[in-house]
Amino acid sequence: ILGVRDIHADHAASHIGKAQGIVTCLRATLYHCTRQKVFLPMDICMLHGVSQEDFIRGKQEKNVRDVIYDIASQAHIHLEHVR
């Protein structure tokens, strides 16, 4: 955007963008669930035995929290790459 031509800056910006996208998705989860939609990765949900219906019903059991934790951890990994 600012005319910066540096592969390292591009790489860092890519990871920051991915982290921000993941966090935005997590923050919007409650909003989307109230509208009967779930935009979380189903492979991670299935790994913890959580269905879309669990999110829509607002369950707060450990396995649901584990899904959120795993997804948030992915954002954290992207931030660590930037550092």
Q: Domain locations in the chain?
A: 7-81
> Rounded to whole angstroms, what are the CA distances from 5 to 16, 25, 55, 59, 83?
17, 30, 43, 47, 19
| 66-72: average pLDDT | 97
Residue 3 has pLDDT above 80, yes or no: no
Q: Which two tokens stand for residue 40?
A: 């979380």
Distances in Å between the alpha carbon of 79 and those of 44, 46, 71? 20, 25, 13
pLDDT at residue 1 tops 70: no
| Average pLDDT in the chain | 93
Whole-model pTM: value is: 0.85
The per-residue pLDDT for range 22-31, each reduced to its tens digit, is 999 999 999 9
Which amino acid, one-letter code, is at 28?
A
